[in-house]
Amino acid sequence: METHGDLCEWFSMATKTPPVLEPSISRQKLDEHTFRMSDSVMLRVYSSTRPHNQKIACLQKGLIVVVNGAETVGEGTGFGLPVLQYSRETFFSASSTIDVSTRLGRCAVAKQFSMDRVARNSFRDIALENHAARSLIDHLSTLYQNHPHFRFLTLKDLTGKIGIRKAFPETAPKGNVTVTYTIDKTRVTVEADFTKLQRTGLRRVFMLNEQSARFFRKYADSQGTELLDEEIGAWGVIGGEWACVKTMGNGLGFRLWKVEGSILRRGREFLQGSLDWVGLDYEVNPMCDTFSYVIEIVGL
């Protein structure tokens, strides 16, 4: 019989005790699963839409970094979150199921996302594509940060006054994406299965890997690029072999590598009270049945 042991100690927040996990046990009927990486760093996954932060409160998340008991995801999606862009709509997930097991002595979490929500962005009742909405918010962010007389407003007040809203209404699902996170010491292998999706009209597939911009503030890559905070920008293509995002202090962070047949991008948005994410995101060939990559947790 195998247990998590020193590899990735498993905690049920409901029982506060680390139960033994046998290979034959594939499903844990709990909302929260937490895996220990070091004395201070853990990874967490929910079957519900927790944590309910800001504009994506109603959406599913991937793996969340937890430091000294505090979740550091902000408005980020977590590691390994699928997003689908069809010809008419962009689809997200608001419901999931989770299986927890061991695989060759390593912890494995299979999370099945039902792609059942669509994005709705509007500006004065004019529909906007996501990239246009992000450009507008980037402009507002610059104004907000550079003009002190705006700072007595929260961002919610500021965007509300000019008519920006975001919603993710429920819709008929486009199928399921199963993402398996295999946790091994300092690395997470992410494997996404797209075989249960409707492919008609599917134009782009994204695998998002995001945490909080307030916590992870430094960017570096294999080409020697070093960026801090707003210098990271939004949706820049990464040309090197790898890229990494870290904290300012102890250097805790995450590194991803380029994968053949995909595009790796960096991105960051921060605006007090509304936007708080930084990430390294893949754009994947929509005809791929599977896609896999590795996340290295650095600075443990």
- Residue 127 forms part of a structural domain: no
Q: What is the pLDDT of residue 235?
A: 74
Which of 208 and 235 is assigned the larger pLDDT?
A: 208
Q: What is the pLDDT of residue 134?
A: 53
Q: What is the pLDDT of residue 133?
A: 53
DSSP 33-69: EEEESSSSEEEEEESSS-S--GGGTTS---BEEEETT
CATH of the domain at 46: 2.70.98
**95 Cβ partners below 8 Å, 6+ apart?**
60, 113, 114, 116
- Among 175, 258, 186, 139, which residue's Cα sits nearest to residue 35? 186
**8 A C-beta contact, residue 64 and residue 279:** no
**8 A C-beta contact, residue 119 and residue 128:** no
Q: What is the pLDDT of residue 141?
A: 53
Q: What is the pLDDT of residue 184?
A: 92
Average pLDDT over residues 28-48: 88
Which of 88 and 240 is assigned the larger pLDDT?
A: 240
Tokens of 53: 């932060």
Average pLDDT over residues 161-188: 83
Q: What is the pLDDT of residue 90?
A: 84
Q: What is the pLDDT of residues 190-233, one digit of tens each?
A: 999 999 999 999 998 999 999 999 999 999 999 999 999 999 98
Angle in degrees, CA 260, 263, 268, rounded to 5: 140
Number of domains in the chain: 1
**63 has pLDDT over 60:** yes
**108 Cβ partners below 8 Å, 6+ apart?**
100, 101, 102, 180, 181, 182, 183
**Helix, coil or strand: residue 280:** strand
Q: What is the pLDDT of residue 49?
A: 92
Tokens of 11: 């905690």
Instruction: Report the percentage of the chain scoring pLDDT > 90.
Output: 56
Q: What is the pLDDT of residue 14?
A: 32
Q: What is the pLDDT of residues 90-146, one digit of tens each?
A: 899 999 999 999 877 789 999 999 999 987 663 223 333 455 555 555 555 555 555
The rounded mean pLDDT for the chain is 80
- Residue 157 forms part of a structural domain: no
Q: What is the pLDDT of residues 142-159, one digit of tens each?
A: 555 555 544 444 444 544
Q: What is the pLDDT of residue 234?
A: 74
**55 has pLDDT over 80:** no
- Residue 134 forms part of a structural domain: no
Which structural domain range is residue 275 located in?
10-119+168-298
Average pLDDT over residues 276-283: 92
- Residue 137 forms part of a structural domain: no
- Residue 145 forms part of a structural domain: no
**73 has pLDDT over 80:** yes
Burial class for 234, CB neighbours closer than 10 Å (0-12, 13-18, 19+): middle
